[in-house]
Structure 1
Amino acid sequence: MFLRLLFVLLIALNIAVGAWLVLGQDDVTVPSAADPGVPVLHLLTERPDLSAATPAQGTSAPADPSAADGVAIAASSPAAGRSAPQPVGGSTAASYQCLALGPFPSLQSLRSARERLAPELARSQSRQEQSQQSRGWWVYLPAQTSRAQALAVAQRLADAHFSDYFVVSSGDQPNTISLGLFKDPANARKRREDLVAAGFPAQMTERVETVPEYWLDVVVPDANSATWRQRVHELAVGSHSTGCF
């Protein structure tokens, strides 16, 4: 009887120890390696939210092609309108020349040229100047004291076989005898010498008049500085450098 009771107790004790080994592990508290209040450190590979998103070592994440395209478009997009020429020594995408075109024979021809050149110009301005132009060399006999005396001298010229003369009857030099207006000063000089040799006190002077000149000042990129001639059809119009404006 005693042996049977001892056997039952041993079996119950084994069952209790087994139950404790199996069910009692959750209650075991593992002491923390850190001080109280300090977060526990984890390796990156231990974090499920990062390990899947982190690319493998040695590979780089692809760049966003849409972002790259956006930069290229912004860099190559031209500024609205025409950019003004920068001062000398300034930084600019293109360099410019400042030219004076002219003189144009009339204001209308200048306006026509300006319209044809407009697509190539950064800026332009028109201006009018007064200039002295030679009308030729005038050979004449000084004014006489009266018209009757001037007519008498004219008769002497005819008797000496000189032609192409007339007596000035009005203006600021009345009773002067004109003996010709010559473009070539050499021809005027020959005419005067022949008259002097025949005894007439002929004189020679250059006749000038004030006329308007029309100019077009332009600011043009270097690439187009030599193409203005293709658009301006006035052969007498030239160009030279001028101050920028």
Structure 2
Amino acid sequence: MFIRLLFLVLLVLNLGVAGWIFALPRQATPTSAVPTGTTVPQLELLSERDQDVEAASAELAAAPDTPAAAGNDVCKTIGPFATQADQRAALTAVTPLVNRIRPRETRATQSRGWWVYLPAFPTRERALTAARALSARGMRDYYIVTAGDQQNTISLGLFRDQVNAERRRAEITALGLKPQMTARTEEMPQYWIDYATRDELPIAWRPRIEGAPELREEAIACF
């Protein structure tokens, strides 16, 4: 009887101790968590740093010419080419010989001959009267301008050669009239290629370009 009572007492004590331990608050295990937003520095090997330095050096070596280096260039232009197709062909041919190259277009005034005429009359009737007078004297190569800025002008001929134009003017002047002579001009495109080199010695571009004898080379400001 005594032993059974002792066993019950020990059992109650064990249950009480177990309940007390279970009821104790548990403490969180400390961790090494990093606050959000904090950058953690990474280890960098010396070998990786050396590779970065070598890569940067290679980029600098491959970088294009600096303005200071470009300031030592010699720049010239070749042309004029008759067409853009000729210009493009020359651009392709000369590119391997130079540091920089570009196409360029300009406008040039070219002579288209000479025009001999009687200045515009106040009315069409006056112009017709003058034309009949020319016809009566054996002149056939003329016509009356019927519209535009030169309306009622009598054209006496277009001439490529200035000498022939002056002869025609003298012929009409001998009839007692006052013809005038004006140069005919037209703006035409001209095509060039500009290039830059480091050497003042001329480059051998002529053997590479068709029609080279008709082209010229001139010094220009560098670009």
TM-score by length of 1: 0.57
Contact 2:97 2:203 in 1 (8 A): no
Aligned-residue offset at 1:204: 0.8
What whole-Å deviation, never above 9, does each CA across 1:24-51 have from its counterpart, x for those lacking one? xxxxxxxxxxxxxxxxxxxxxxxxxxxx
Paired residues for 1:64-213 under 5 Å: 87-88=71-72, 97-213=74-190
Deviation track 1:105-163 (CA, whole Å, cap 9, x = no partner) reads: 22222112111222212211122222222211211100112233323322222222223
Instruction: Answer whether contact 2:101 2:195 (CA < 8 A) is retained.
Output: yes
> Which has more radius of gyration?
1
Q: Distance in 1 between matches of 2:63 and 2:214?
A: 32
Q: Compared with structure 1, are the counterparts of its residues 179 and 226 closer, same or farther at alpha carbon in structure 2 (3 Å cutoff)?
A: farther
- Distance change (3 Å), C-alpha of 1:188 and 1:162: same
**Aligned partners of 1:220, 1:87: CA distance in 2, in Å?**
11
The residue correspondences of 1:37-52 to structure 2 (distance < 5 A) are none
**Cα distance in 2, alignment partners of residues 192 and 173 from structure 1:** 18
Q: Deviations over 1:203-235 (max 9, x none)?
A: 011122222222211124658735212222235
Map of 2:48 onto structure 1: none
Closer, same or farther: CA 223–230 of 1 in aligned 2, 3 Å? farther
Deviations 1:161-186 (A, max 9, x none): 22322211222211111112222222
> Which segment is superposed worse, 135-144 or 219-228?
219-228
Higher relative contact order (CA 8 A, sep 6+): 2
Q: Do the aligned residues in 2 keep the contact of 1:97 with 1:225 (CA within 8 Å)?
A: no
Find runs of 4+ consecutive structure 1 residues off by over 3 angstroms.
79-88, 220-224
The equivalent residue for 1:63 is none
- Pairing 1:5-84 to 2, within 5 Å after superposition: none
2: distance between equivalents of 1:123 and 1:223? Answer: 14
User: Partners in 1 of 2:124 and 2:130 — Cα distance?
Assistant: 10
TM-score normalized by the length of structure 2: 0.62
Aligned-residue sequence identity (percent) comes to: 39
The residue type equivalent to 2:145 in the other structure is V
Q: Which runs of 5+ in 2 are unaligned?
A: 1-60
Question: Take 1:83 and 1:227, find their aligned partners in 2: how far apart are those partners?
Answer: 23
1-side partners of 2:163 and 2:203: how far apart?
38
Partner in structure 2 of residue 241 of structure 1: 219
CA contact (8 A) 2:118 2:156 kept: yes
